[in-house]
Structure 1
């Protein structure tokens, strides 16, 4: 593929907005080229322009050639022939890319029917073969599953099967591993590498995670604000970056470590033999089955401490966090500042809620789109401090925004008007306005660029130092956990596999599972 002087402008009512500003690069057969940069750099707009799937308000200029054929001048019918056939795509979130109403087998067969004219038994056999190639366990059973019945890694494997059904020349992978655990991420990248060798296809890999790029790509193009700032072999760009922005991206890794709290610091939250079970009903009048997600966990969180909880999806991390705050029903005993929470009902828990707050993974999903930032942050004040008048609430909102380094004028704007990092700061401000003692941080940085992650981590450290906050930090990003926590708990299948000081576990993990997590996070073997 050859791209020459590609420009994309969005024609908006207040004037054109340039998204891609005259970039040029080539991609050779069998090669992996990584497009890297922060959100808003133009990476995904570039890939969407290649597929000719930009909205009508986008004006595209330049040349995009695939095997010498200009895609920008190709007819709509010709582009339909090329998409899914010669050019395939894998998106970031497979759950939104797969049709929830159709079984995964049908979705693979649809591509084979459209582009390879395979029907009936031949199409189903080919779909089974593809599911086996991408490592889906029990493909004969999984072919009739719906997307929601599969794990995140399995759904992404189905997306890869669909993308590779017609053995494309070019695979565009747009943040295909961002939402996955480090072990699953390594598996998906190894799979892509092996399939690339088998089919000899080129891969355009779009990501903001330079840790992956270092191990996966042959060449790198660095983008910022729609411009191509630097390009070269992965080795050259990482070992000898020429542009200041490239150096900033490479250096934007969470660093430092948190000093442990005193061993005699008072215990703020304790848990004994915590268990959480869910009842799953089988379809078509099948029996109900109990599934134990958290199995007998003991935990002590001291004031000023940050306990990191790591593990793969399904390990029980988030379930444990919600159970500790009594957001889920659980068995066992949970004490907060000497108060036994286990027998308390919702009304009795309400006075304690202001002392225990949560910051979720996706700030866009957890912030109401219908409320202004000021209304979102003041909502807790209206519940827990009804004695405050409007002026007092506004003063508290301004104070919270100042704490997270946001301009006070922003309180009259809506969540969609902010970047991901700013939205996460708003979510933190919403929690802080009630002056809590304990914060549950559930994957608060996983959806953010590395450079934005660093600023959020610095903010959380600063707030903890200023207010003596206590954190329970849940994440699958081990680099972030190492930088922020002083005690670490490793979970698998609802149980604690390993527990101890963060430094000790990172320097000398005693369990095989912990070592596998470390290997996948910091030195993945991609074959």
Structure 2
């Protein structure tokens, strides 16, 4: 125990809410040694992030903490706020899951990193600038001397996460807490960030507490792991031991929670539902008074055909044009080229003439919490489309269809008077699917519908989508950067890069023998664990 850098001893955290006390962490104990990587794993709500936030003394005021948290034998729960501020950032740093919400959107990234150096090391702005450039270079930001003056929105998701890492490492901490640092990233960027963390760990000799729900990462990244469920520690050990011989059914379920199976092939004689030729989408970058405007072409001449009952998967990194293409096909964005839905040319239809088709073409977005109005009950959210597209229905008829839609996605209709924040992430995604299904569409655009979900929840949502497709003869356009999900759901795959299709074909053929180098890189980054 004397060699431990961090010791969590019988930690319990309760939240004092107006309607009662909610236990979030229950008598959890674990330790981290210098230079070690410990993974804290479990589903959403298991208490892993609360445990790490408690170690940083960043819990909200309504939290009540008991037990002990010792860093180099100093009890962090009893030190003064002033002493904790010196430890936080200097000796212990933290990287959060979503860099866009952690970075100040109104402040240049260089100034945000420099603030850490000024607060903790006493550097002035002139002294801090070369150190910031050096940090940006270390974390792999291209042209750091120029990028130092960029705002967060001018960087990609992977670059913003690198900025967060640079900020966390500014004072060369002994312990880095990484809370789901790769969840929202593409597989290739995820692999780069993990390799970067390993490299920096070796350079600085720091320990890492890595919090994640993705056990595929843990297998290759962590020395030891602790599995949490419902606020309790249910299993721990070396990563090799836990993966080779899990002692608890819950741990075994997490390890096995990968999308599996293959979609039954579609009859090649079925008619085409959606056809597109030479689709192009461009966005104006700068408008000039006397000269031609500058444009960025996000989708460049793509052809696509989808039969009834078929699932076409579109994969590629962020910025490849996947979501832009999907929105263009549903006429949610202006585009050029030919788009035919059920034989009808819809490319030139205006808003009024598109409206009758909207109930037949629906969308499920990536973030269900962002796409569901927080001020409407679930019943109101689901029935909104019925009020727009089927005004002839009375309230009782709409209510009956809402109940039916909730049953379809395996949710209790009695919960329809609750609000979105009262549901888990997986339940909210089911609500988003129910909102689309209530209109009885023929075509569904699924834009990253599982990327924000735990692996175990992903599996249930994928099974649900399979069942619904078979039951209602639905046609899917499935957009994702998660190749294991696409492999389980899609008949054919399009691989996109920089607005173009670089490879396409039957799912099994693409995954078994990718021809293009870019596709091979995506596969290697996504399925690094399969080779182990």
Q: 1:436 to 1:185 in 2, by over 3 A?
A: same
Q: How is 1:312-461 mapped onto 2 (pairs within 5 angstroms)?
A: 312-461=317-466
Q: How is 1:28-39 mapped onto 2 (pairs within 5 angstroms)?
A: 28-39=33-44
Q: How many residues align?
A: 526
Deviations 1:290-332 (A, max 9, x none): 0000000000000000000000000000000000000000000
Residue of structure 2 in register with 1:52 after alignment: 57
Whether the 8 Å CA contact 2:118–2:125 is kept in 1: the answer is no
Aligned equivalents of 1:32, 1:362: Cα separation in 2: 30
Pair 1:116 & 2:146 matched: no
Aligned equivalents of 2:377, 2:392: Cα separation in 1: 22
Shift of 1:289: 2.0
Shift of 1:120: 3.1
Whether the 8 Å CA contact 2:219–2:529 is kept in 1: the answer is no
Pair 1:298 & 2:309 matched: no
The more displaced of 110-119 and 305-314 is 110-119
The more displaced of 439-448 and 10-19 is 10-19
Whether the 8 Å CA contact 1:186–1:524 is kept in 2: the answer is no
TM-score, scaled to structure 2: 0.97
Pair 1:505 & 2:510 matched: yes
Q: 1:220 to 1:387 in 2, by over 3 A?
A: same
Shift of 1:281: 2.5
For residue 19 of structure 1, the aligned residue among 8, 24, 27 is: 24
**RMSD of aligned C-alpha atoms?**
1.6
Residue of structure 1 in register with 2:104 after alignment: 99
Q: How is 1:79-228 mapped onto 2 (pairs within 5 angstroms)?
A: 79-228=84-233
What is the SS of the residue equivalent to 1:516? Answer: helix
What is the SS of the residue equivalent to 2:340? Answer: strand
Shift of 1:282: 8.1
Aligned equivalents of 1:286, 1:157: Cα separation in 2: 38
Residue of structure 1 in register with 2:241 after alignment: 236
For residue 68 of structure 1, the aligned residue among 64, 67, 73 is: 73
Structure 2, unmatched stretches of 5+, are 1-5
Whether the 8 Å CA contact 1:88–1:171 is kept in 2: the answer is yes
Aligned equivalents of 2:279, 2:520: Cα separation in 1: 26
Shift of 1:16: 1.8
Q: How is 1:231-310 mapped onto 2 (pairs within 5 angstroms)?
A: 231-281=236-286, 288-310=293-315
What is the SS of the residue equivalent to 2:352? Answer: helix
- Misfit runs of 4+, over 6 Å: none
Aligned equivalents of 2:456, 2:224: Cα separation in 1: 21
Aligned equivalents of 1:503, 1:228: Cα separation in 2: 39
What is the SS of the residue equivalent to 1:315? Answer: coil
Aligned equivalents of 1:140, 1:282: Cα separation in 2: 28
Aligned equivalents of 1:175, 1:417: Cα separation in 2: 22
Deviations 1:56-112 (A, max 9, x none): 111111111111111000100011111111110101110000011110000111000
What is the SS of the residue equivalent to 2:105? Answer: coil
What is the SS of the residue equivalent to 2:44? Answer: coil
What is the SS of the residue equivalent to 1:65? Answer: strand
Shift of 1:287: 8.2
Deviations 1:363-415 (A, max 9, x none): 00000111111111111111111100111111111111111111111111111
Whether the 8 Å CA contact 1:357–1:436 is kept in 2: the answer is yes
Residue of structure 2 in register with 1:467 after alignment: 472
Shift of 1:259: 1.8
Pair 1:522 & 2:527 matched: yes
What is the SS of the residue equivalent to 1:64? Answer: strand
Residue of structure 1 in register with 2:3 after alignment: none
Aligned equivalents of 1:490, 1:335: Cα separation in 2: 22
